[in-house]
Amino acid sequence: MLKPIGTEYKIDSDKKLGDDGKTSNVYEGVIIKTGEQVAIKVLSSDQHDDIFTRKENNALDLDHENIIKILDVHISKDITIKNFIVMELIPEFAPGKRTLRHLLDNPLSVDEALSIVEGIGQALNYTHSKDILHRDIKPSNILFKIQNNKKIPILIDFGLSKKLSEKSGSTTTSTHGTSQYKAPEQWAEWKGGSEFSGQEMDIYALAAIFFEMVAGQPAFLGITNGEIQQAHFNQVERPTLFKYNYELGKIFDHVLKKALAFHPKNRYTDVTTFITKLKEAYSSANDKNLVLLKENITALEHKNKITEDGIKIYQQKIELMQQKSIKFVKLWFILFFISWLSAMVIQFLPNNSQISDILYGFLIIFTLSSWGCVYLTYRKLIILLLGGDNV
């Protein structure tokens, strides 16, 4: 049921889109004047204007295709009135599926993972250029807008954002954030100083998301927050894709090692460089695979050429064999005929005559010769079948 919130909007409390479990809930709503559907994020009763003013207002003037459009921020100093933020409504990209978290049941293809990271990377590059640090990059803060049958990643929730130019003591630590994606300098236990721009923590989270998309497992594992924190603070054993996919490890581990470095001074200093390195690594691997494929094709073509030449030679041998066989058959027929004729003549000659003895001699010679022709014919054929060249 739609209920008024403020003077310009109505909210449908039965259509809850999401929540962060502590500070806010998001519902479907409408603009009363136009009837346009929107998403309305309502601040919980124990939070008030400071968070919205200082955090959500950071995103009010942002205009980028990969960032949620903030339409209005309602701030009241009256603690009995709930504050809220009005955003564009992005429909589910599939039934029950709205965020990147819903895609991570299985590893994504490298192409899809790169497309998502590049889109969010462009959003972060834009926000950083506007002096805004997001500080809560995670799968549930990435929605998808469908355009031309493509999923366009959309960055949401600037509730933990801060100005890059802000200085709060000697560090930029915060107890807020999501454990699996929170850089070491965001933990209260951080003692590493603040001699860095701050962009490194957003790069760190984005790298952790890319790792999870292609590996199918989070970069930093643990059952409790304490165990996950220990994984982040382990300076010896950093996340490696080799553990899950050897080929992906060869391609991306050198890039992720720098992006997920323990200390921010050892990471990439801007998102564009990180994205470029990822794409270069993947492109280089594809080029190597293409060269290998071309080499394999060339070898196969050479093998086929050898086979074709072999067939031609074999056919030539058969033709030559046929020609020689015909000659041998003709010779055998002549010798056989002479032998037969000699045998017929002998029958009519007196026994022990000189002519009879001569014809007997011819008969034996011609008979042996004819069978010799048969032997030579079959010998040539056997040599040919065994691959011999002497035909």
Rounded Cα distance between 254 and 266, Å, is 13
373: nearest Cα among 312, 328, 316: 328
Query: What is the residue type of 107?
Result: P
Taking only the tens place, the pLDDT of each residue in 347-372 is: 666 666 666 666 667 667 766 766 66
Angle 120-122-124 from CA coordinates, rounded to 5° = 70
In this predicted structure, what is the pLDDT of residue 139?
95
In this predicted structure, what is the pLDDT of residue 230?
93
Taking only the tens place, the pLDDT of each residue in 79-129 is: 667 788 899 999 887 777 889 999 998 899 999 999 999 999 999 999 999
42: nearest Cα among 91, 4, 95, 98: 4
54: nearest Cα among 156, 161, 146: 161
Q: How far, rounded to the nearest angstrom, does the alpha carbon of residue 69 sit from its chain's CA centroid?
A: 30
In this predicted structure, what is the pLDDT of residue 170?
40
Q: The tokens 């998001």 sit on which residue?
A: 26
In the chain, alpha helices (H): 49-54, 110-129, 199-215, 225-233, 246-259, 271-347, 354-385
Length of the chain: 391
DSSP 27-75: EEEEETTT--EEEEEEE-TT--HHHHHHTGGGGTT---TTBPPEEEEE-
390: nearest Cα among 308, 381, 306: 381
In this predicted structure, what is the pLDDT of residue 38?
93
Give per-10-residue mean pLDDT for the chain (391 aa).
83 80 81 92 66 62 92 76 86 83 91 96 95 92 90 90 68 65 84 70 96 94 92 91 90 95 93 95 76 55 62 70 67 67 65 64 68 66 57 47
